[in-house]
Amino acid sequence: MQLKFTEEQLMMRNMVRDFAQTEITPFIDRMEAGEFPRDIMKKMGELGLMGITSPEKYGGAEMDFTSYIIAIHELSKVSAVVGVVLSVHTSVGTNPILYFGNEEQKTKYVPKLASGEWLGAFCLTEPSSGSDASAMKSRAVKKADHYVLNGSKIFITNGGEADVYIVFASTDPSQGSRGVSAFIVDKSSPGLIIGKDEEKMGLHGSRTVQLTFEDMIVPAENLLGEEGEGFKIAMANLDVGRIGIAAQALGIAEAAYEAAVAYAKEREQFGKPIAAQQGVGFKLADMATKVEAAKLLVYKAASLRAAGKDCGKEASMAKLFAAQSAMDIAIEAVQVFGGYGYTEDYPVERYFRDAKVTQIYEGTSEIQHIVISKHLLK
């Protein structure tokens, strides 16, 4: 198998690389200081990146899924924050509406999400239900022409910044996962309380907040799909979303590897570049092998998805491996940089902090093992 991109994909990759260098690199310090990259997302909207896979009919660029993964990969090499904001906005913020919404919902929401005027978010996790997602306590009670939504969500990426939230709540707790329903919630809805901003180890500049829904009135027309279909909507979109997070992890891994190679060639100890010391050379060899293997898994999952084939197992494998590789490589990159690597003067300490969460969100590595083994034993 060979990775071979089309002319169109290569042009898009060059465009994203240029954009990342000219627009994102100068913004990194501001993100590290906590600033959300709203202006960058607006510019990405102008370039068509916020609706990269959305149909032209709804204002999107209608590019193939692999192009989207190339974009996340390249953006994340420069900023894992921009990578995750785009991944969540697209995979789990916009796509549930595209795949499960009716025509009115698509016409109302997708064009503004695709242009970058609106940002999307996904609200599944709760304080007491993370990996066991269907054990959620949020409740939506049907009244005449609306639902009354009550509950709390936690660790919501893009929370507070997003204009549109895909929210999961139980409409029939007696049915377990089959009683979960999905709703499209506007930021302006009375009863949406934006809570604590998490102070995170990494991904500074990406907002992660708690949300509370207090007697929120959700119009019945904002039910996404059918009542009771919500858990499947969440799982199906996470299957695809995990390829985006795998691409983010790949971007971090590759950035850390390239930084380590460049430094190891330039830094001299014992009269020669440290790259020429076997201990360092072997580390670089391991890093390069992990990057290559992660790349193959990520783009294999992407190409399956692009061809409209099942990709749940491959998405989980890609995320599991790319996330582990990003962490391993970032640890070793700091080691190659030695004392300098432990300072904020070099980017490897940022890669180290940013890599960790790829093993946690959109399903922990342990959950990816569960998903993969369920597929194997089907």
Q: Annotated active-site positions, please?
A: 362
Smallest distance, Å, CB 228 to ligand CAA? 9
Can residue 74 be called a binding residue for ligand CAA (CB under 6 A)? no
Minimum distance of ligand CAA from residue 173's CB (angstroms)? 14
Pick 72 or 274: Cβ nearer ligand CAA: 72
* CB contact burial 191-225 (16+ within 10 A = b; e otherwise): ebebeeebebebbbbbbbbbbbbeebebeeebbbb
362 part of the interface to ligand CAA, by CB under 6 A: yes
User: Which neighbouring-strand residues pair with 272?
Assistant: 269
Report 140-159 residues binding ligand CAA (CB under 6 A). Answer: 157
For residue 300 the two structure tokens come to 């294999």
The window from 1-9, 57-65, 141-149, 364-372 that contacts ligand CAA (CB under 6 A) reads 364-372
User: In this chain, which of 192, 235, 276, 331 binds ligand CAA, going by CB under 6 A?
Assistant: 235
Q: Is 139 in the site for ligand CAA (CB under 6 A)?
A: no
What angle do the packed helices 38-46 and 80-87 form, to 10 degrees? 60
Q: According to the binding rule CB under 6 A, does residue 41 interact with ligand CAA?
A: no
Q: From CA 58, how far away is CA 50, in angstroms rounded?
A: 12
Nearest distance from C-beta of residue 61 to ligand CAA, angstroms = 22
Minimum CB distance to ligand CAA smaller for 231 or for 337: 231
Q: Which of 17, 137, 178, 369 binds ligand CAA (CB under 6 A)?
A: 178
Does 363 engage in binding with ligand CAA (CB under 6 A)?
yes
User: Which helix or strand (DSSP H or E) is residue 251 part of?
Assistant: helix 230-266
**Which of 180, 201, 197 is closest to 129 using CA atoms?**
180
Burial 339-370, CB ≥16 within 10 A → b, else e: eebeeeebbbbbbbbbbbbbbbbbbbbebbee
Of residues 255 through 274, those in contact with ligand CAA by CB under 6 A are none
Asked whether 119 and 84 are in contact (CB, 8 A), the reply is no
How many other β-carbons are positioned within 10 Å of the β-carbon of residue 151?
A: 21
Residue 168, interface with ligand CAA (CB under 6 A)?
no
Asked if 312 interacts with ligand CAA (CB under 6 A), we say: yes
Q: Which residues bind ligand CAA (CB under 6 A)?
A: 84, 88, 122, 124-125, 131, 133-134, 157, 177-178, 231-232, 235-236, 238-239, 312, 361-363, 367, 370-371
